[in-house]
Structure 1
Amino acid sequence: MSGKVYLVGAGPGKSDLITVRGLNILREADVVIYDYLVDRQILDETKDGAELICCDTIGKKRYS
């Protein structure tokens, strides 16, 4: 199996601060791993069927 991994920064939380290239990559991704800082509007841009994985760790609690 081969593929690509992209690390896309989404700015400090506001959905309009992601770059155009980052948004295009997000729209094509099969899997998106994100944390609680990502604006829900950004996640709404993912393609149908994309696997969304939340990988939050706050203190000693893990949210996923």
Structure 2
Amino acid sequence: MPKCRARRFREVRPRQLPYETYWATETMGDFDPEEPGAWVTRTVQQCKDLSIEVEIH
């Protein structure tokens, strides 16, 4: 459920991804239908950056 996921995300507050950035991606709030590729590129780059920054134990 997106609401629960957002609440958990806010509680955890990961330093690698600000809540505002997470929420804009989750809700596609910064999606521009005139330039869908820009949103896709931004989202893929965020995923790549997170995969480098986040340490999994």
* TM-score, normalization by structure 2: 0.26
More strand by share: 1
TM-score normalized with structure 1 length: 0.25
